[in-house]
Structures are given as structure tokens and as C-alpha cells.
């Protein structure tokens, strides 16, 4: 240590950084408001609408798992447990905002205007599942973890250049936060002060890998520091905290103050996907019980019931409506025409190059037989 008067205390610096990222909570597990100062300005009708969407989405998850088991759906990434994280963040958006979802973020797409039958076709692997309706600002779910983040920076920069008062929002998971594209996306949006909201839904596991093995960082929210942008960690099982954080990030963004990273602490009750993942191999029963007590629907129900604006009858109505609409959605999906190779060729380019045009004729002939 010759020539150095004192050790440079990097450890102290790290601790000081970590202390900046405390979990924001508004509703506790009992549905009690623990942070009234942050209470978002939502009417009773809006609170009920948010609850309805969460209940509906829980039913959608249960039905999707069951339809997947019957072979009536294909790829499916369960969402139960993440309703506050997914739907309260979405509820803070406006129609003109653009969503770049990850593969687990189908619920946000649906509530932004993608019909159920298209979500089901996407699950089955049909090109019509990606043909988002005109005016619905949603990109098809991203399978390459992290790609949605760099693309989000681009969409947000486009909005800034156009001068529109809207934001681009994207979602990844705790594992995704280890990707280079996630850092690049946040850093680009920061450098351009683009109106982007980056959400990391930290459900503690990337398939079987616990978040502790992703990084030594105590929070994911603090990764915002590397991009020089604000980072917020919220209780992702608390719909009001997620809504408040997203709404705040949106306000900042449309006022030209740049992007925000929001980490939601959440949990998926089901497996990673329905393709054979078994969470009992890597999660203890105790951990699952602990998170089940935090169920966002349970605490929001208690909160609304205490306000006298929600009851079992209302909830059952939503459940029945969801089941009906899901049944109808599956029926429409069943009616979609089978895909032909010529269909796939038709959506490759605006104008078919020579090789495709030649192959098109061959398949047209085959398909006519």
C-alpha cells in the first residue's frame, strides 16, 4: 500500500448505492394502504376496472394452461402471480403508447387491443397471430431475451423525433437483465433522453436459475445507474405501487425527461413455460407458500372490499365473462385457415425476389392438388 494514505472505500460506495433502491409499496398483503402519500389518483370505477382485468387474466392463465394440456394451445408462458406487475403497469398507459412485450407479456397485448383469438393463434404458431390490428400499437412477443429493449429505445426515439406525447414500454425478466441488449437499450434511451419505460419483472427465477446467480447486484433497479437514468424498485404484487411507478415514469417521459427502469418484485405461481418445466426441481414449497400470501388479487380484493366497491358477485361476473370470451376466442382461432407455404412466401417481402417467385410457383402447383 506504499504511496496510498488510505484505502479507497468502494464497499461503502456500493452500500450507499444499494440504499437508494428501497422497495416502494402502497398496499400491504392485507390490502391496507401503507403509503398514502404515493396513492395514485384513481376513481372507484378505475380501481374496479383494474381488478376486473387482473381477475380476468388469472382466469385466462388457468384456462390457457388447461387448453395447452389438451393440445388446443401451443407455446404458453404462465402469468399467474404477475397480474399486478403486468396489468397495473399496462393500466398506466394510453392507447398511443407502444408496447414491446416479451414472450410472457401476452396479457398486456390483449388489454392494449389484440383480440384473444390472435393471442391464441400466436401460441399455436400461426402467422395471423402476429398480424396486430391496425392502430393497436403492439409488436409481436419477443422470444430473443433482451432484443425488445434495444428496439424499445428505437421506438421511443422515433416518438421523440415525431414530437408525439407517447411512450414506448418494454418488459423483460430478472434473467433478461443479464443480457447485453438490456444494458444497451437503457443506455441508448438515456443518451437520447427518449420516452421509454423499461420494466424488469423480477420473479426470482429464470427457468431454474435463481436471481442471485444472475448478478451480485442487490437490486436490478440499480442497473439504471449504469445508464444514468432513474431506477425504481416496486412491490410487483402491489397493483397500486406498480401503477404509480409506471404512471410517474410515463409523466417524466412525455415531459421530455427521458426513460425510467422499473423493477417489479413478483412471482410466477406456475412453471416457466408449459414445455415440460417442473418448478419443484428448483423452488421450495416454503418459498411458494411465502409468495402465495402476497397474491396481488387477494390484497387488491381486500382493499376494494374494505372500500365497499367489490364483492363476490362482481368477481364471479368477471370470471364467467372471461370463460365465455375465451371459449369464443378459441372457436375463432379454430376457424383460421390452415397455413400454406405460399402464405409464408407472400409475407417475406413486398416484392418476391427471383428465387422465391420460382419456389412460389412450385408450391402453388402442389397446393392446387
Concerning whether 269 is annotated as a catalytic residue, the answer is no
Q: Which of 152, 200, 211, 240 binds another protein (CB under 8 A)?
A: 152
Least distance from C-beta 132 to another protein, angstroms? 5
Contact flag: residue 306 with another protein (CB under 8 A): no
DSSP H stretches of helix in the chain: 10-19, 44-69, 83, 89-91, 106-112, 116-124, 147-162, 180-191, 224-227, 239-254, 285-292, 296-306, 312-334, 341-346, 354-368
Helices then strands, each counted (H, E), the chain: 15, 8
Least distance from C-beta 312 to another protein, angstroms? 41
* Torsion on CA atoms 122, 89, 196, 173, rounded to nearest 10: -60
Q: Which of 86, 151, 203, 219 binds another protein (CB under 8 A)?
A: 151
* Residue 250 or 294 with smaller CB distance to another protein: 250
CA gap 129, 339 in Å, rounded: 12
Q: Please identify which of the residues 272, 283, 299, 301 carries the catalytic annotation.
A: 272
Contact flag: residue 128 with another protein (CB under 8 A): yes
Stretches 39-47, 160-168, 197-205, 322-330: which one binds another protein (CB under 8 A)?
160-168
Count other C-beta atoms under 10 Å from residue 66's C-beta. 12
Q: Is 354 helix (H, G, I), strand (E, B) or coil?
A: helix
What are the start-end ranges of the E strands in 66-107? 98-100
Concerning whether 272 is annotated as a catalytic residue, the answer is yes
Q: Which of 84, 87, 132, 200 binds another protein (CB under 8 A)?
A: 132
Q: Is 192 helix (H, G, I), strand (E, B) or coil?
A: coil
Contact flag: residue 140 with another protein (CB under 8 A): yes
* Residue 81 or 176 with smaller CB distance to another protein: 176
CA distances from 234 to 136, 172, 228, 263 (A): 28, 15, 19, 6
Contact flag: residue 155 with another protein (CB under 8 A): yes
Residues lying near another protein in the complex (CB under 8 A) are found at 98, 127-128, 130-132, 134, 139-140, 144, 147, 149-159, 161-162, 168, 180-181, 184-185, 187-188, 191, 344, 346-350, 353-356
Q: Which residues are catalytic?
A: 268, 272, 282
Amino acid at each position: 500500500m506504499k504511496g496510498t494514505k488510505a484505502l479507497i472505500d468502494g464497499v461503502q460506495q456500493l452500500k450507499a448505492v444499494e440504499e437508494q433502491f428501497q422497495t416502494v409499496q402502497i398496499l400491504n398483503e392485507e390490502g391496507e394502504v401503507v403509503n398514502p402519500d404515493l396513492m395514485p389518483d384513481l376513481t372507484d370505477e378505475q380501481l374496479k376496472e383494474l381488478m376486473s382485468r387482473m381477475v380476468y387474466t388469472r382466469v385466462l392463465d388457468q384456462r390457457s394452461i388447461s387448453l395447452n394440456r389438451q393440445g388446443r394451445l401451443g407455446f404458453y408462458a404462465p402469468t399467474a402471480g404477475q397480474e399486478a406487475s403486468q396489468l397495473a403497469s399496462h393500466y398506466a398507459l394510453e392507447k398511443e403508447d407502444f408496447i414491446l412485450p416479451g414472450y410472457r407479456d401476452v396479457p398486456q397485448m390483449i388489454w392494449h387491443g389484440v383480440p384473444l383469438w390472435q393471442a391464441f393463434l400466436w401460441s399455436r404458431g400461426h402467422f395471423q397471430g402476429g398480424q396486430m390490428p391496425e392502430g393497436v400499437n403492439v409488436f409481436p412477443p419477443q422470444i430473443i431475451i433482451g432484443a425488445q429493449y434495444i428496439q424499445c429505445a428505437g421506438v421511443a426515439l422515433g416518438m421523440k423525433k415525431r414530437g408525439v406525447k407517447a411512450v414506448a414500454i418494454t418488459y423483460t425478466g430478472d434473467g433478461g437483465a443479464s443480457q447485453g441488449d438490456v444494458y444497451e437499450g437503457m443506455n441508448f434511451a438515456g443518451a437520447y433522453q427518449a420516452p421509454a419505460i423499461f420494466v424488469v419483472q423480477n420473479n426470482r427465477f429464470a427457468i431454474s436459475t435463481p436471481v442471485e446467480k444472475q448478478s451480485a447486484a442487490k437490486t436490478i433497479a440499480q442497473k439504471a445507474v449504469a445508464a444514468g437514468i432513474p431506477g425504481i424498485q416496486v412491490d410487483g404484487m402491489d397493483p397500486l405501487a406498480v401503477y404509480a411507478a409506471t404512471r410517474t415514469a410515463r409523466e417524466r417521459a412525455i415531459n421530455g425527461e427521458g426513460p425510467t427502469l422499473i423493477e417489479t418484485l413478483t412471482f410466477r405461481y406456475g412453471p416457466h413455460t408449459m414445455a415440460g418445466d417442473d418448478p419443484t426441481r428448483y423452488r421450495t414449497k416454503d418459498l411458494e407458500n411465502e409468495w402465495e400470501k402476497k397474491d396481488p388479487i387477494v390484497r387488491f380484493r381486500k382493499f376494494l372490499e374494505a372500500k365497499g366497491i367489490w364483492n363476490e358477485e362482481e368477481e364471479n361476473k368477471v370470471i364467467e365473462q372471461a370463460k365465455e370470451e375465451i371459449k369464443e376466442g378459441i372457436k375463432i382461432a379454430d376457424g383460421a385457415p390452415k397455413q400454406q407455404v405460399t402464405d409464408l412466401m407472400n409475407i417475406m417481402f413486398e416484392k418476391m425476389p427471383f428465387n422465391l417467385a420460382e419456389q412460389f410457383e412450385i408450391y402453388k402447383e402442389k397446393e392446387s392438388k
